[in-house]
Amino acid sequence: MAIRTYELRDFLNPRENINIIYMEKDRGCDNHTHEFVELIFIVEGTCKQYIDDVCYESEAGDLLFVNYGQIHAFQAMSKEFRYYNLLYVPEFFSEELINSENIYDIFEISLFREFSDAKIRPTQLVSFRGNEYREIKKIIEDMSRELTEKGLGYRSILNGYSRVLYSKILRKLKTSEANGAQQNCINRITAECLAYIDSRCFEKLTLKEIAEHTFYNPAYLSRIFKEQCGVSLSEYIKEKRMQEAARLLIDSQLSNDEIMYQVGYSDKKQFYKNFKDIYQVTPAEFRKKALL
């Protein structure tokens, strides 16, 4: 079955590079392509947007990009569903926005980027919530009014609004990208720590040694570890040691003192205290109950 193409001439005035359509009755649309670039801003309700077979579950405040030539479909998921369509001729991005500061960053980080690896896909959705949602909605409403009323200089005003809108999108994408990179870095830090601790946790370990091995500041490492793992480094090491001690009490014939040394303790009082903190019984009581 042939995919329908929405032609430029049917949706945009040849004298203008932009059209804005407000929709509140549309429940969905099957696969189609456009001869224009489409921005979809969800005002109310929820929907599923499909762009080149990738599903984006969207709600109020979400803004989606659909490049010309991409396969697009959507389905409304709520009874109340309203949205704006902002349609641009492809040339708009080179002719009207060429002087906009950092406008090419949008092409770099959004759907306009060319990917050498077909498995890597750009994000085609950015989310605005709270005051950001109200701000973006107001910008688009003002644009729609200018386009309808066509007052003196409206084309220049629309171009100005478009620059503001794309700058807001760019800022949001940059922030999301930076937050994602930061989270990846934090995950990597935590994984490095866990791998090192797990391989050395029965030896004498200090925060300073772990930080030096993973090349991070000790205070920063300690804070990030607790945020990600829910316990401090010392608590994590203690739990690992006590888990191994409990295993040896059940699976071996080693004495309590031998187990104590094997899991990294030389202070008997500290070993017994830590074991009881975790299991609420002494090592001897734990072994006796396990063998019953």
> What is the predicted pLDDT for the residue at 270?
92
Domain co-membership, 208 together with 269? no
Number of domain units in the chain: 3
> What is the predicted pLDDT for the residue at 188?
62
Q: Give Cβ neighbours of residue 33 (< 8 Å, ≥ 6 apart).
A: 3, 4, 5, 6, 68, 69, 70, 71, 72
Domain co-membership, 86 together with 169? yes
Domain co-membership, 140 together with 216? no
Domain co-membership, 25 together with 60? yes
Domain co-membership, 110 together with 205? no
Q: Which two tokens stand for residue 205?
A: 């370990």
Give CA–CA dist 145/252, Å, rounded: 80
Q: Which two tokens stand for residue 82?
A: 């309203």
Q: Which two tokens stand for residue 76?
A: 């409304």
| pTM recorded for the entire structure | 0.58
> What is the predicted pLDDT for the residue at 119?
41
> What is the predicted pLDDT for the residue at 280?
92
Burial of residue 119 (CB within 10 Å: 0-12, 13-18, 19+) is: exposed
> What is the predicted pLDDT for the residue at 117?
38
Domain co-membership, 34 together with 121? yes
Which residues span the domain enclosing 287?
234-291
- The residue among 182, 213, 244 that closes a domain is 182
> What is the predicted pLDDT for the residue at 201?
83
Domain co-membership, 209 together with 74? no
Give CA–CA dist 61/134, Å, rounded: 8
Amino acid at 203: E
71, 69, 29: which is closest to 47 by C-alpha?
A: 29
Q: Give Cβ neighbours of residue 45 (< 8 Å, ≥ 6 apart).
A: 59, 60, 76, 77, 78, 79, 80, 81, 82
Domain co-membership, 13 together with 98? yes
Which residues of the chain are under the pLDDT cut of 70?
1, 93-123, 176-189, 214-216, 292
Q: How confident is the model over 24-61, as pLDDT tens digits?
A: 888 888 999 998 889 999 999 999 999 988 899 999 99
222, 244, 243: which is closest to 234 by C-alpha?
A: 222
Distances from the Cα of 246 to the Cαs of 165, 166, 203, 243, 289, in angstroms?
60, 59, 17, 5, 12
Domain co-membership, 150 together with 208? no
Domain co-membership, 27 together with 137? yes
Domain co-membership, 175 together with 211? no
Q: 278-286: long-range contacts (C-beta < 8 A, 24 or more apart)?
A: 278/238, 278/239, 278/242, 279/242, 279/246, 283/245, 283/249, 283/256, 283/259, 284/256, 286/246, 286/249
> What is the predicted pLDDT for the residue at 140?
96
